[in-house]
Chain A
Amino acid sequence: MIAELHNYLVVGAALFVLGAIGFLTRRNLIVMALSAELMLHGVSLNLVAFSQLHGNNEGQAFAIFIITVAACEAGIALALFVALYRRRGTLDAIAWRELGEEGLPPDTSLEEPSIAPLATTPLEFPHLTPAGRVPEVPKRRAPDRV
């Protein structure tokens, strides 16, 4: 059992570290999100392994909870990425540095991504396919202009 636990923990740690390295080294927003998921699941693996060790279900419950949260988070994150992509036309994290201090010397180690100008026309949002009957709007006579 002890040897087995070691195995689980090693895999979990490997997943976590791989996720961390991925998060730190990649600039693509989607890859960063994936790396964050990887770290989460490294942790979930630990929880499940300990749950098995202790013979109860608490760790498993936590793991399921984490998976749920991760799914929600992924949904929100991907939606944000879409919005961000529409604003700047790129998924590079370098394109979003407004929260940093102003006027710092440019970092020459980074090649700047090409950033599309802000969209001036209102964005086209997808139309939902119509379902059911179109509600009837009572027609009213236009008031006479004075």
Chain B
Amino acid sequence: MSESARQIALWLIPAAPLAASVLIALTGVRWLRQRSHWPCILAVAVSLAASLAVLFVAVPMTPYDLDQGYDPAVVSAQYEWIRIGDLNVSIRLTADAMGAVMLSMVTLVSLLVAIYSAGYMRGDPGYPRFFAEVSLFVFAMCMLVLASNFLVLFVFWEGVGLCSYLLIGFWFQRPSAAAAARKAFLVNRIGDFGFLLGVFLIWVTFGTLNYQGVFDNQNFLQLVAREHPGRLELICLLLFLGAVGKSAQFPLHVWLPDAMEGPSPVSALIHAATMVTAGVYMVARCTPLFVYAPSAQLVVAGIGAFTALMAALIALTQNDLKRVLAYSTISQLGYMFLALGCAAANSHVVTLAVTAAMFHLFTHAFFKALLFLSAGSVMHSMGDVIDMRRFGGLRRVLPLTHLTFLCGAAALAGVPLLSGFWSKDEILAAVAAASHAGDPYGNYFLVLQIMAVATALLTAFYTFRAYFLTFWGVERFPEEAGHHPHESPLVMSVPLLVLAVFAVGIGAIVGPTGLFGHYLAETRGLTSGEEHGLAWGPMLLGTAAAVLGIAGAWLAYVGSPGLPRRAASVWRTAYEWSLNKFYWDEIYQAFVVRPGELLAEVCRLLDQYVVDGLVDGMGRLPVMVGRLLRSTQNGLVQSYALMMVLGLAALLLAVLKAWAGP
């Protein structure tokens, strides 16, 4: 692959979706109308082709030698964007191994979701808007991955946030959707604020925002770690705060379940497969920084494990199929952060930890997108009803959706040999490697390991609870579905099948064979270190958790259907807590939203009566003075003459006084 071909491929990845977005936005309403999906699908396909070219040809051919000063990445020509004093920001697209994997995953899932959406969104009045926004999202997401400095990263970090906001609020006529979009945006702002502070601190510390300048200079990193103890920790924690917001980790996880108000393809693309994993990607990308901040990594691992367990507990009792999946996404993202945090244990675990997190990110994108799209397919045939209490036994009516959902659920639960099994096993192996008793944080990681296994068990349980409730039991439809619920059209089922194939097979192909690990090891900051064979211990633990969870779900929802009710009445309090999502929304409502509203009300009154009063008073002053002076303008010649005479007299008096001297 020649240099110019590489350049073209790199630029094509973001440029094609951007062009499609502009085209649809300009001509969609007037001309493209119900054909608006074509530019989007074609552009994303072009992006996918370019990404695959980068993945398979360009990156492996790039010379990789850090000691010689080579950047282990495909680099585009740079375009200088901002130059203010010492700050020199250029837009330069960079794809290294991690970026190429991420890009291929993003564009592939985007393509399948775009094709699926052509069927799912058919007839919607906002059809062109939908595809314009999806294209814009793909552009922003690709730029986020391709960015080579923190400022560009931040810009597109915000860009995907904007697209997420637009697409959650796609049906903005519904108050709940508008509120969910606003909530997502506001909660993300908190994280983004931390992220921005982190970027500022990087600028202050390193004097540059380029990845290369920050990550590659090991001597300087060591110097900073020695001279400013706590500085790198602070940077990492601030960056992680951004990731917490974007990837919906505790305590900023509350926006993601509400984001399910958006169309199902959006949930699949943005809120399961791509955007929410941007936080994981960013932390993985910043590994060279995080290795110098072990305490920050401990926080990452702790938050990840806690979020994983908490979200799994909430998912146990949710009745809304998409909410179960949303909490499952939060839980799985927590898993990835847990894996990333394991790098704190010792330097041998770093590569293993990052690989495990990225691998889980990779497989999770496929099976979670599959689950969301299958849920969308269920919604489609059930007349937009998503409450699992109102339908059941759909496996005969929707055989294909049943099959694909089962593939996704099994992969998520970690059934042996499916994708989720391999990646979850890697994470468990990473945690196990970190929790060696001899290490300084061994006990800490032992606790996290127990939490991780418990989460795996719960994951298998709630996933199959959703599956059994939806597809097994007595056949029931809500009245919105009409009399004959039908399977989704071909345009929707083909992407489902493709994703199902990936959900089942991709893990086994690239995981245990070491393809993924070896490829990813070429990334900046990672070492292609020692071989990690299959870790049998964690694998057995994971398998046992999955089997137990699935068996438990079968027992509770198929075997003896009265069991959940009895369990709920026995553990009344626990059930209530889980059903009400641990009351996080209520807590935030009471301690953040209400005080905020009060403050806003006080400001409003202050503005209305004090500030506006002042301004209005200034406006009224000339009117009042004018009213006084008006009465002298009465049109009577004599009164004017009198004023002249008086003025003359006053002038004369003044002149005479001055003339007479003091």
Contact = CB atoms under 8 A, between A and B. Distances in A.
A46 to B, nearest CB: 14
A23 B651 CA distance: 20
Interface residues of B, number: 11
A77 to B, nearest CB: 12
Interface in A23-51: 23-25, 27, 32
Contacts of B570: none
Given A20-B645, A101-B630, A104-B630, A27 B638 contact: yes
A81 to B, nearest CB: 13
B397 to A, nearest CB: 81
Interface in B611-655: 630-631, 633-638, 641-642, 645
A144 interface: no
B652 to A, nearest CB: 12
B634 A104 contact: yes
Contacts of B634: 97, 100-101, 104, 107
B9 to A, nearest CB: 77
Nearest to B626: A101
B633 to A, nearest CB: 4
Nearest to B648: A20
Contact of B641 (A23, A97, A99, A107): A23
A98 interface: yes
A107 B631 CA distance: 10
B172 to A, nearest CB: 51
B636 A93 contact: yes
A49 to B, nearest CB: 19
A93 B637 contact: yes
Contacts of B641: 23-24
Contacts of B645: 20, 24
A94 interface: yes
A98 B636 CA distance: 9
A23 B638 contact: yes
Contact of A97 (B630, B631, B635): B635
Nearest to B630: A101
Contacts of A23: 638, 641
A93 B641 CA distance: 13
**Residue with the highest number of chain B CB atoms closer than 10 Å, among A96, A99, A101:** A101
B105 to A, nearest CB: 77
B638 A93 contact: yes
**Residue with the highest number of chain A CB atoms closer than 10 Å, among B631, B638, B642:** B638
Given A104-B630, A104-B631, A94 B642 contact: no
Nearest to B635: A100
Contacts of A107: 634, 636
B638 A99 contact: no
A27 B645 CA distance: 17
Nearest to A100: B635
Interface string A1-25: 0000000000000000000100111
**Residue with the highest number of chain A CB atoms closer than 10 Å, among B630, B633, B634, B645:** B634
Contact of B633 (A25, A32, A100): A100
B636 A100 contact: yes
A53 to B, nearest CB: 19
A78 to B, nearest CB: 17
A96 B633 CA distance: 13
Interface in B144-199: none
B642 A97 contact: no
Nearest to B631: A104
A94 B631 contact: no
Interface in A82-139: 93-94, 96-101, 104, 107
**Residue with the highest number of chain B CB atoms closer than 10 Å, among A23, A25, A98:** A23
Nearest to B638: A24
Contacts of B631: 101, 104
Contacts of A97: 634-636
B636 to A, nearest CB: 6
A20 to B, nearest CB: 6
**Residue with the highest number of chain A CB atoms closer than 10 Å, among B631, B633, B636, B645:** B636
A43 to B, nearest CB: 13
**Residue with the highest number of chain A CB atoms closer than 10 Å, among B633, B637, B642, B645:** B637
Contacts of B638: 23-25, 27, 93
Interface in B37-63: none
A24 B641 CA distance: 7
Given A24-B641, A93-B637, 17 more contacts: A20-B645, A23-B638, A24-B638, A25-B638, A93-B638, A94-B636, A97-B634, A97-B635, A97-B636, A100-B633, A100-B634, A100-B635, A101-B630, A101-B631, A101-B633, A101-B634, A101-B635
Interface of A: 20, 23-25, 27, 32, 93-94, 96-101, 104, 107
Interface of B: 630-631, 633-638, 641-642, 645
21 contacts: A23-B638, A24-B638, A24-B641, A24-B642, A24-B645, A32-B637, A93-B636, A93-B638, A94-B636, A96-B635, A97-B636, A98-B635, A99-B635, A100-B633, A100-B634, A100-B636, A101-B631, A101-B634, A101-B635, A104-B630, A107-B634
Which 5 A-B pairs rank lowest in CB-CB distance, beginning with the nearest?
A: A100-B635, A97-B635, A101-B633, A100-B634, A101-B630
